[in-house]
Amino acid sequence: MESKFKKQDAEDGLESSDVTIETAKERPKSAKELVEGFEQKEHLPMGEIIQFEGVDQKDVYNITAPFESGGRTYIAGRVESRDSEYDSQACFFEEKNGAWILSPEMPVFNLQDPFTTKINQELIFGGVETFPCTDTSHFKSLGYRTIFFRGKTLQTLTHFATGPNMMKDIRMLELSNNEILVLTRPQNPQVSQGGPGKIGITTISRLEDLTETNILNAKIIEDQFLDKEWGGADEIYLLENGKIGVLGHIAYEELLPNNTRKKHYYAMTFTLELKTNTVSPIHIIASRKNFPAGPAKYSPELEDVIFPGGLVHNKNGTATLYAGLSDAQAGRLTIPDPWQIP
């Protein structure tokens, strides 16, 4: 089956076929099918819960993988009260004696779901800003948008870009030709462009070009998710073979017999080949079952949620996955390196 990137016009919402890409020669597999295949062959050890300290009994989840700044190693995490998401903060932690301790000299941002990358030797940090929203179709009337900062160190971060309203999971990667790959996640249930959440792709020449218009004009990868399912990119990697590795999530919502809703999120990867406009099939790499049982922010809605934040590639053909768990904890898990699997 052929698929197309479709270009969404930022102003009038129209779309036009643009670049034809090759995906799987069949309809996209559902999240359930992908997970069933994963569980039939996976032999992963049980992951572990990461301990965080210094946050006054609040939860830490939806973390980044460890990253370096100023010669020190940090994890950024979403810090939040168990019964609310109105007090979210993105904070930085350093590891000491097996636990990750809040770093008091580092800045605190009023953001959710932090992420980092490096572009042109600058640290790029971002997260999701929430704001009151009168559109009652959105969860608890919270609007959201992605906010971006840049700087040489964490202490010198300054705001430089804001994404469109109602868009999370905007990620960037510096390419070998110094262009910047941008992956987006439009959502629009009324039209085919976004649905519950698809992945868009574009490139920009410099950070100053990370504008709302350019983000909205990203070409959408069609036929990657079923219409009622959704996904997003959480971290991007430039692989040794020149291809692009994408770590992300695929998700769907289940209506239970008692009329409550339960969300299912799984960590997944796929590969982009920019030269040939090829997108590989999605592969599940971890589920909530791969970690010890624990609390959920809302039960049963978020019990089966894993939100991948990043991978650390090890030298022995494995990688360590860092992820949020059930919107209440964070964990790590060693897995086969997704891009060394035949």
Q: Whats the size of the chain, residue-wise?
A: 342
Stretch 282-292: mean pLDDT: 97
Structure confidence by residue, pLDDT tens digits, 250-263? 999 999 999 999 99
Q: In which band, very low, low, confident or very high, does the pLDDT at 277 lie, cut at 50, 70 and 90?
A: confident
Residue recorded with tokens 């559902």: 30
User: Which residues 6+ apart lie within 8 Å of 88 measured at CB?
Assistant: 78, 79, 80, 110, 111, 112, 130
Helix, strand and coil content of the chain, in percent to the nearest 5, comes to 10, 50, 45
Residues of the domain holding 138: 2-10+17-336
pLDDT (mean) for 139-158: 91
User: What's the pTM value of the predicted model, to 2 decimals?
Assistant: 0.91
- pLDDT at residue 27, rounded to an integer: 78
User: 114-137, pLDDT tens digit by residue?
Assistant: 999 999 999 999 999 999 887 655
Q: How far apart are CA 172 and CA 116, in angstroms?
A: 9
41 found inside a domain = yes
Contact in structure between 262 and 31 (CB atoms under 8 Å): no
Instruction: Of 204, 260, 261, 200, give the one whose Cα is nearest residue 230.
Output: 200
* φ, ψ for residue 84, nearest 5 deg: -155, 160
Q: pLDDT at position 135, please?
A: 65
Calpha distance 321→153 (Å, rounded): 24
CATH classification of the domain holding 254: 2.115.10.20
**CA–CA distance, 181 with 279 (Å, rounded to integer):** 15
Please state, in angstroms and rounded to a whole number, the distance separating the CA atoms of residues 229 and 192.
12
341 found inside a domain = no
Sign of CA dihedral 165, 171, 175, 181: negative
- Go through 102-129 and write b for each residue having 16 or more CB atoms within 10 A of its CB, e for each that does not: bbeebeebebbbbbbbebeebbbbbbbb
Specify the higher pLDDT residue, 26 or 207: 207
| Cα–Cα distance, 309 to 314 (Å, whole number) | 16
Q: For residue 42, what pLDDT band results from cuts at 50, 70 and 90? A: confident
Tokens for 276? Answer: 């040939």
H/E stretch holding 251: strand 244-255
DSSP label at residue 66: P
Are 75 and 100 contacting, i.e. CB atoms less than 8 angstroms apart?
A: yes
Question: Which residue type sits at 181?
Answer: L
Mean pLDDT across the chain: 90
**Number of folded domains that form the chain:** 1
Displacement of CA 256 from its chain's centroid (Å): 26
51-109 confidence digits (pLDDT tens): 999 999 999 999 999 999 999 999 999 999 999 999 999 999 999 999 999 999 999 99
In a domain, 213, yes or no: yes
pLDDT confidence of residue 164: 96
- In whole angstroms, how large is the CA radius of gyration of the chain? 19
